[in-house]
Amino acid sequence: MHTSSALRSTHFQYRRIGTDARTHVGFSAFCADYHEQDRVAVVSPRLEDGILHTGYALLALTTAFFDAQRARGGDFFVYPQHFAIIGADRSGVATGAGRLELALDDAGIGSAWGWLDVWPNSNWFTAPGTPTAMLRKVFDLQINRLFWPQDFAAEDAHCAEPLPAYARRILERRLKSVYYYRSPAPTVEISAAQPAEEIVQESFNRLPAVVQDTLHRNAHVGPEPYRLVGVADFLHDMESCFAE
C-alpha cells in the first residue's frame, strides 16, 4: 500500500490522441464511471507484458481507489480489486526469456506486480496462454475493466473448449471498459510524474533477472498509449472464443 502515500491524482495526465494533435482530458475521459469496487484485470501473455505496458494505468486507477478511501477520513488498510492474469502452462510461466518455473509468490511471479499494488498474491492468476483461456479467466473473475494486448488476437477457428454463448452476453453487460495496449492506433495516453515513474521502474527491477536481461534499459520511457474500444467491438474481436 506504499502508493497510497506516494501518489496523488495530480501525478497523472491524460491526453486524447487525435489525427493532428493531442488534447488534455481528465481522468473520467480515460476511466468513465469509475467506482472503487471496479474489478480491474491486466491480461499479460508473458509475465512482463503488463508491467511494461500498463504500469501507469494501474497506478492511476489505484490512486483513484485510494482517493475514495482518503475522502472518508481515518486510517485504512485495503487494496483495490486489481488482478494480473499471466500466461503459463505445465512447462512454466511464459516470459521473454522463455518459460520459467515461477511460483505464485513474491519471490516468483508476484514481486513486480505487488509493487504496483496488484496484491495480495490471491490477485495473481495464471492461465494457458491462449485468448480463449485468458478470456475465460476474465469471465470467472467477474472483471469490469480489462487491459488486453491488441496483438493477442483470438484464434482464427473456433477453439476446442470455447466459452459458452451465455458468457458473451454476461460479459457484454459486466464489462465497463476495455483498453488495448500495444496498439498501432492508440486513442489516449497517460503521462506520469517522477513518483509514479520511480514506482514503475522499481517494478521492472523486481522482475526475474533473466527477464530483465531481455528488456531495454529504459523500457518504459514516455507516455503510455492505449486504444479504448467499445465492449461490443472487443467481444466481436473475440468471436471465435465463444460457442456458436
CA distance 134 to 149: 12
HSE of 238 in the Cβ direction (CA atoms, 13 Å)?
Answer: 33
* Cα angle, residue 6 at apex, residues 203 and 55 outer, rounded to 5°: 35
What are the grid coordinates assigned to 33, written together? 464511471
145-159 mean pLDDT: 84
Q: How many domains does the chain have?
A: 1
Q: pLDDT, tens digit, for every residue of 98-110?
A: 999 999 898 888 9
Residue 1 has pLDDT above 60, yes or no: no
Of 5, 163, 21, 147, nearest to 84 by C-alpha is 147
CATH code of the domain covering residue 91:
3.40.50
The model's pTM is 0.95
The residue range of the domain holding 119 is 3-241
150-161 mean pLDDT: 77
Q: How far is CA 89 from CA 102, 129, 234, in A?
A: 11, 7, 25
Q: At 28, give phi and psi (nearest 5°).
A: -65, -25
What pLDDT does residue 221 have?
67
What are the grid coordinates assigned to 150, written together? 491488441
What pLDDT does residue 244 have?
81
What pLDDT does residue 13 have?
97
Higher model confidence: residue 2 or residue 64?
64
